C-alpha cells in the first residue's frame, strides 16, 4: 500500500518531530532509520515524497538518492534532502545528484511542511 511520505532519519527525536508535523499536515507516513531500509521501502511502498537524511547508517542519503535516480521506476520520485552539515559542498552534491529540495537542520517546521507540499504537487499522479 502506498504512503504519502517516506521519512529516512536515524535520530529518534528528529524522526518523532518530523512524523508529528507531517501527520498533522494530513499525510500518511512511513519511517525508516537506515539507508538500506530506505531503498527497499521506496520500492515497496512507492511514496509520493521522500524525506531523506544524509548521515544514515549502512548507506548514506546521497547514495540512496543516487540509486533512486538510476532506477527508471523511481527516477521521478521527488526527494527532499535533510542535512545537519549545511555546507555549500553538500548542497552542490545534492543538486548534482538530483535532489528536488534541500533543507538544513535545524529547520522551521513550516519550511519542511511547505517543501513537502510543493513536492506533492510535482509528484506523478497515482490513482
Phi, psi (rounded to 5 degrees) for 107: -110, 160
Give helix then strand counts, H and E, for the chain. 5, 5
Question: Based on CB atoms, which residue is closest to other proteins, 17 or 45?
Answer: 17
With cell 534541500, the residue in question is: 102
Question: Based on CB atoms, which residue is closest to other proteins, 21 or 120?
Answer: 21
User: Alpha-carbon distance 24 to 102, whole Å?
Assistant: 22
Task: List beta partners, residue 101.
Answer: 80
Task: Kindly determine how many residues on this chain lie close enough to bind other proteins according to the rule CB under 8 A.
Answer: 29
Tell me, residue by residue from 81 to 120, as one string, x for binding to other proteins by CB under 8 A and - for no binding.
---xxxx----------------xxxxxxx----------
User: Alpha-carbon distance 4 to 18, whole Å?
Assistant: 13
Residue 75 contacts other proteins per CB under 8 A = no
Q: Residues 25, 28, 46, 63: which binds other proteins (CB under 8 A)?
A: 63
Binding site for other proteins (CB under 8 A): 10-11, 13-14, 16-18, 20-21, 24, 35, 55-60, 63, 84-87, 104-110
Amino acid at each position: 500500500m502506498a504512503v504519502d511520505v517516506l521519512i529516512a532519519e536515524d535520530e529518534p527525536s528528529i524522526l518523532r518531530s518530523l512524523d508529528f508535523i507531517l501527520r498533522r499536515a494530513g499525510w500518511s507516513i512511513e519511517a525508516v532509520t537506515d539507508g538500506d531500509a530506505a531503498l527497499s521501502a521506496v520500492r515497496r511502498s512507492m511514496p509520493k515524497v521522500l524525506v531523506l537524511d544524509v548521515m544514515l547508517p549502512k548507506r548514506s542519503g546521497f547514495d540512496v538518492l543516487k540509486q533512486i535516480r538510476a532506477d527508471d521506476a523511481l527516477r521521478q520520485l521527488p526527494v527532499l534532502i535533510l542535512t545537519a552539515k549545511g555546507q555549500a559542498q553538500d548542497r552542490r552534491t545534492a543538486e548534482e545528484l538530483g535532489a528536488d529540495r534541500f533543507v538544513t537542520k535545524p529547520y522551521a517546521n513550516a519550511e519542511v511542511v511547505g517543501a513537502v507540499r510543493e513536492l506533492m504537487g510535482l509528484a506523478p499522479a497515482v490513482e
